[in-house]
Structure 1
Amino acid sequence: MILPSLLHQDLRYGWVSGSNVRGTRDILVSSFGTIWLCTWTCLCLNIPTQHVRDRRHRWLLHKFRWQLFAIFFPEVLVATAAEQWLSARQSARAFARLGYPQWTIRHAFFADMGGIVVAPPDFPPFPVDSQQLAYLVENGYLELPDISTDDIRSLNKADGLARLVTLAQMAWYCLSCTARGVSGLAFCSLEVTTLAYILCTVHTFFFWYYKPLDPEAQRVFALNTGMVEICERSGRVGRDHLHTYTHTPLDFVKPLPDPKSLITPFWFGLGAVLRPWATPRRRLKGKLRSPAKTMANSRILPQDGVSTPLMVYTLVFQIVYFALHVCFSWISSFPSNVEWYLWIASNATDFGLIATYVLAIPLGTYFAPFLGRWLFDMEATHLLQVATALPGWAKLLIHGPFVLGYVVARAAVLVESVMSLRAAADSVYQDVSWTSFLPHV
């Protein structure tokens, strides 16, 4: 195998001062600053629980956890945002068919993030997503909430300045890297990693453009019909159903996960590892289950299913994301051949694990009826129905190696991005001669 020529260039070891050249500190500050901006400002999280909203430090800790997720799984965040965007678009079309063209994508995002809470006369209040809201409105259980676009904008805690600063920084960073490439100067692997985060952030900004950023208030609307009656009219035994739902009593409105979804199995596998023995919610006073108070950021189920174009887009994006790491490794500086091989192997491992999930879900769904009857004597139409019925130890045994392998491989890439600066090619520290670069433009 032919190794990159940069591996055989003269290396400069240790910390490089930036007095007359681009020093180590300049590279670290520029790259880390860009990564921090990308992974913080791109997050449009669903409304958290009340105990998180009550304390500023809890909210910051909550968002910081998700920033860590964006650092380790940026491509997963893009796919999650894409399916949320598709769900919001489908919701806007559904309400238009019901005769409510004033319901926009922005309204749908606000509902899907837990912004609308319904209060039945015989049951504790709980949030509804846009599809469940459409079901209530269509059947006359609730009038369409009177929420204007300006009302939703007023709940948005950000005025766009943070994103504008991030976009400016991303544009400057990309321009600088382009100038280095045109000038024949080397990159360090940290800059390649930063470019990958920029790629993900641009896509996340697009898909979450209409999603409110960090709203903390929920709007509560009273139902004019009790939940027992709503369940009975839907063909379910009212009070019996109120003991068997998973999230809220309106779970029956949501469809089964689409086999074309690339995100649902990931979230299930991650949850199986982090909470393998999670138990259902306790009943209230021994009678009723306590419904969820918020919408999980990982719970996305487009009502009309995942479209084929979006599925293809998600697949292509995953390929481009990992190909960027591999292709740029040929013009990047690595201290040794071993570290270059480690970089390639780590990215190939992450891509291979994602590809395995992508192939396993449609195949598993095809065999789900057989697996359900064979393992649990149940009728199943989706692989996740069978997977949910597995005991905690089995979930951990199946998904644990995938999640652990993915995290270890990603950690290896992130660590190598920084460690490679201990010995980099001399041209990594050369500044771009803009007077020579501009004529190329």
Structure 2
Amino acid sequence: MDPNIATNLKWGWISSGNDRGTSDILWSSLSTIYLCTWTCLCLNFPRPGEDGSLRFIVYKFRWQLFAIFFPEVLVATAAEQWLSAYQSVRIFRDMGYMQWTVRHGFFADMGGIRVQPPDTQSFPVDSHQLSFLVQKNYIAMPHISQEDIKSIDKADGFARLITLIQIAWFSLQCIGRGIQHIGLSPLELTTLAFILCTLHDYFFWYYKPLDPLRPEILQMDISIAEINEKEEAREQYTFTPLDFVSSPPDAKSLITPFWFGIGVVFDHGKDKHPKPRQTFPNTRILPAEGITWSMMWYCLFFQIIYFGLHLSVGWLLAFPSRPEWYLWTIANFADLGLITVYCIALPLGTYFAPWIGRTIFGVEGATSILEVAEMLPYWAKLAVHGPFVLAYIGARLIVLTESLITLRALPAQLYLDVNWSNFLPHI
């Protein structure tokens, strides 16, 4: 369709008749988006106090809103979490523990294994920290089978089956409409983008337990003070006393700086949680062996595909007015441009990090852009990250809003149903 042509539009609420109406487009799209953004979420153990039924629903609903505004970020998060769990398998099997699987890696990294030292309250350990404790004989290897993890996994196969059926049905409808040249609404294109992200989330989080609430607690005979003394570790930490075991954030990670910026803007750059932390936040991803180049390039390629879908197909969509089409296109280009600037700034910041740390802050040894960012006062962090985050959210809000309000006026042919008989062999 030519976006410059605003003729032959049907205005207002169109009732369903022999063909589809406004309610059909709205219901099929919104129900698909809801199912995609709810069933794809495999979150870490919630904080104490959020594990009650109502509070847990609120906790998950907040992340569903995040999945609506940042679905491509959720895919990158799931991919890096998968990489961490996958690397843990090799580490444990090199130690001789062949029963350790990707499912175990996910379970540990999401806060499912806690240790109870004699000199402090219990706290979670990730797969890398657990392998350190076992290798140093500070703790015995826990006997946790896959069946034990599956027993607390609330993965609802039926809900995901329904979602996959809905995805297949919706996608076939869109393919049929494309083949017969009867077009898609902006809301349907937005829904296809959510489907693309959900299928990737399903793949990377296939072995991650869904909504577990009961962690495994391991007793320790050695105190944290003794471990710190033996390992010559600092007593100060951010999450748990075993932070010194974790590798620093890898400069190749595309999302760690993003989470840092989100924390600066919405959490005021402060850690409000008591220490040691009682669970790992969903934003904490520290693969033991770092981010691979293939994973970095994959995440970059996915961003191109995600925004390319909006821009390549969106260019052909019909909008009620020319300004709205321009607004949709500019908003998508703005998000793509912000992502491009972000991806360029990361390697440049890493390259110049030693010089910046030495020249501006008088600190030697800075190796990443995050180390330099941590040196900034809060107002400077907010000045750097605030405009980027708010502009990104604003552009995404425009795209989502336009997807809905364009339903007030759509070309008449968008209300035609797919003639499935044309796809059957006939003379």
Instruction: Give TM-score scaled by structure 2 length.
Output: 0.97
Shift of 1:372: 1.6
> Is 378-387 or 416-425 further displaced after alignment?
378-387
Shift of 1:253: 1.0
Shift of 1:280: 6.7
- The equivalences for 1:413-428 within 5 A come to 413-428=399-414
Q: Which residue of 2 aligns with 1:168?
A: 165
| Aligned partner letter, 2:352 | F
- The equivalences for 1:88-99 within 5 A come to 88-99=85-96
How far apart, in 1, do the equivalents of 2:373 and 2:55 lie?
Answer: 33
C-alpha contact 2:4 2:322 (8 A) present in aligned 1: no
- The equivalences for 1:9-88 within 5 A come to 9-53=7-51, 55-88=52-85
C-alpha contact 2:3 2:317 (8 A) present in aligned 1: no
Q: Which residue of 2 aligns with 1:187?
A: 184
How far apart, in 2, do the equivalents of 1:349 and 1:5 lie?
Answer: 19
Q: Which residue of 2 aligns with 1:366?
A: 351
CA offsets 1:302-347 (integer angstroms, 9 cap, x no match): 1111111111111111000001011112332211221111111111
How far apart, in 2, do the equivalents of 1:18 and 1:368 lie?
Answer: 60
Matching residue within 296, 305, 319 for 2:304 = 319
Shift of 1:5: 5.5
> Is 87-96 or 329-338 further displaced after alignment?
329-338
How far apart, in 2, do the equivalents of 1:255 and 1:134 lie?
Answer: 13
How far apart, in 1, do the equivalents of 2:27 and 2:273 lie?
Answer: 45
Q: Is 1:386–2:372 an aligned residue pair?
A: yes
Matching residue within 279, 284, 295 for 1:294 = 279
C-alpha contact 1:276 1:393 (8 A) present in aligned 2: no
Q: Which residue of 2 aligns with 1:229?
A: 226
CA offsets 1:58-80 (integer angstroms, 9 cap, x no match): 11110000000000000000000
Shift of 1:351: 1.2
- Partner of 2:218: helix, strand, or coil? strand
- Partner of 1:409: helix, strand, or coil? helix
C-alpha contact 1:6 1:331 (8 A) present in aligned 2: no
Q: Which residue of 2 aligns with 1:120?
A: 117
- Partner of 1:143: helix, strand, or coil? coil
**Which stretches in structure 2 are left out of the alignment for 5+ residues?**
none
C-alpha contact 2:118 2:221 (8 A) present in aligned 1: yes
Task: Evaluate the alpha carbon distance shift between residue 7 and residue 233 of structure 1 in structure 2; reply closer, same or farther with a 3 A threshold.
Answer: farther
C-alpha contact 2:36 2:194 (8 A) present in aligned 1: yes
C-alpha contact 2:44 2:280 (8 A) present in aligned 1: yes
Task: Evaluate the alpha carbon distance shift between residue 439 and residue 407 of structure 1 in structure 2; reply closer, same or farther with a 3 A threshold.
Answer: farther
| Aligned partner letter, 2:264 | A
CA offsets 1:5-56 (integer angstroms, 9 cap, x no match): 5734411111100122210001000000000000000000000012011x21
Task: Evaluate the alpha carbon distance shift between residue 408 and residue 335 of structure 1 in structure 2; reply closer, same or farther with a 3 A threshold.
Answer: same
Q: Which residue of 2 aligns with 1:263?
A: 255
Task: Evaluate the alpha carbon distance shift between residue 354 and residue 330 of structure 1 in structure 2; reply closer, same or farther with a 3 A threshold.
Answer: closer
| Aligned partner letter, 1:254 | S
Identity %: 55
Q: Which residue of 1 aligns with 2:198?
A: 201
| Aligned partner letter, 2:270 | A
**Which stretches in structure 1 are left out of the alignment for 5+ residues?**
283-289
C-alpha contact 2:6 2:318 (8 A) present in aligned 1: no
C-alpha contact 2:6 2:319 (8 A) present in aligned 1: no
Q: Which residue of 1 aligns with 2:398?
A: 412
C-alpha contact 2:3 2:325 (8 A) present in aligned 1: no
| Aligned partner letter, 1:332 | L
How far apart, in 1, do the equivalents of 2:379 and 2:3 lie?
Answer: 48
> Is 223-232 or 186-195 further displaced after alignment?
223-232
| Aligned partner letter, 2:390 | L
Matching residue within 308, 312, 326 for 2:293 = 308
Moved over 3 A (4+): 5-9, 279-282
CA offsets 1:371-409 (integer angstroms, 9 cap, x no match): 222333223111111211221111111100000000000
Shift of 1:367: 1.3
Shift of 1:277: 4.2
| Aligned partner letter, 2:263 | G
| Aligned partner letter, 1:437 | F
Task: Evaluate the alpha carbon distance shift between residue 217 and residue 433 of structure 1 in structure 2; reply closer, same or farther with a 3 A threshold.
Answer: same
